[in-house]
């Protein structure tokens, strides 16, 4: 695991806000947040977030690094962009939440492994980087079984009907996974991107 923020794995980090302003995508605009609540009020699943974006942003300012990176708010964002289009300060809330989620993964917080959306994101990425495409069947399987074999079978059985309907309407297929043409090139691009990212992180 690479240390990304200046003082990783700290409960409080008084430099955290500055770090977010300077390193998180859209973080510079977060400095303009006036705590009006439009984001949390616009969120279709706002009542399923422990803090919601507005409070999370205040917690960042207060240096509550651990609480921020272990919150479910960063994982529950569904990227509907309601908050982004309505924010009177034009803060790209969605980008910020996603970047914070990535940071939580990098810093190895347990919540970043156990959160439902973290598991799903992992399965999605596994397929995307392997084939350049998401394979509905394998992504779903990988996600279902991420919580254990028994649990995976249970979830699979419960959703059998949906799966069959998807196969019937050709939304899901049972043959070899579809691939992009140049998977080798894709992987080279991803490796390079990873390298650049690491270089950026270490350069700070």
Q: How far is the CB of 110 from another protein (least distance, A)?
A: 25
The residue among 83 and 139 lying less far from another protein, judged by its C-beta, is 83
Give the separation between CA 66 and CA 100, rounded to whole angstroms: 11
Measured in whole angstroms, how far is the alpha carbon of residue 120 from the centre of its chain?
9
- Interface pick for another protein out of 3, 6, 14, 34 (rule CB under 8 A): 34
The residues near 85 (Cβ < 8 Å, ≥ 6 apart) are: none
> Is residue 174 within the footprint of another protein (CB under 8 A)?
no
Give the separation between CA 160 and CA 167, rounded to whole angstroms: 11
Is residue 169 classed as helix, strand or coil in its secondary structure?
coil
> Is residue 42 within the footprint of another protein (CB under 8 A)?
yes
> Is residue 94 within the footprint of another protein (CB under 8 A)?
no
> Is residue 51 within the footprint of another protein (CB under 8 A)?
yes
**Inter-axis angle of helices 160-168 and 136-145, nearest 10:** 170
Q: How far is the CB of 78 from another protein (least distance, A)?
A: 16
Binding site for another protein (CB under 8 A): 34-42, 46-47, 51-52, 54-55, 82, 85-86, 88-90
């Amino acid at each position: 695991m690479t240390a990304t923020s200046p003082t990783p794995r700290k409960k409080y980090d008084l430099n955290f806000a500055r770090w977010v302003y300077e390193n998180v995508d859209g973080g510079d605009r977060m400095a303009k947040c006036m705590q009006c609540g439009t984001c949390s009020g616009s969120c279709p699943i706002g009542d399923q977030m422990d803090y919601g974006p507005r409070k999370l942003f205040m917690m960042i300012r207060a240096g509550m690094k651990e609480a921020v990176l272990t919150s479910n708010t960063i994982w529950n964002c569904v990227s509907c962009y309601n908050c982004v289009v309505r924010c009177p300060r034009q803060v790209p809330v969605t980008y910020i939440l996603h970047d914070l989620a990535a940071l939580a993964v990098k810093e190895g917080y347990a919540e970043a492994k156990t959160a439902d959306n973290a598991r799903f994101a992992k399965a999605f990425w596994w397929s995307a980087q392997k084939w350049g495409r998401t394979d509905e069947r394998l992504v779903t399987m990988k996600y279902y079984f991420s919580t254990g074999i028994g649990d995976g079978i249970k979830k699979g059985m419960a959703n059998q009907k949906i799966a069959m309907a998807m196969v019937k309407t050709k939304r899901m297929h049972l043959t070899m996974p579809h691939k992009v043409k140049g998977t080798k090139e894709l992987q080279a691009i991803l490796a390079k991107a990873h390298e650049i990212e690491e270089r950026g992180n270490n350069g700070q």
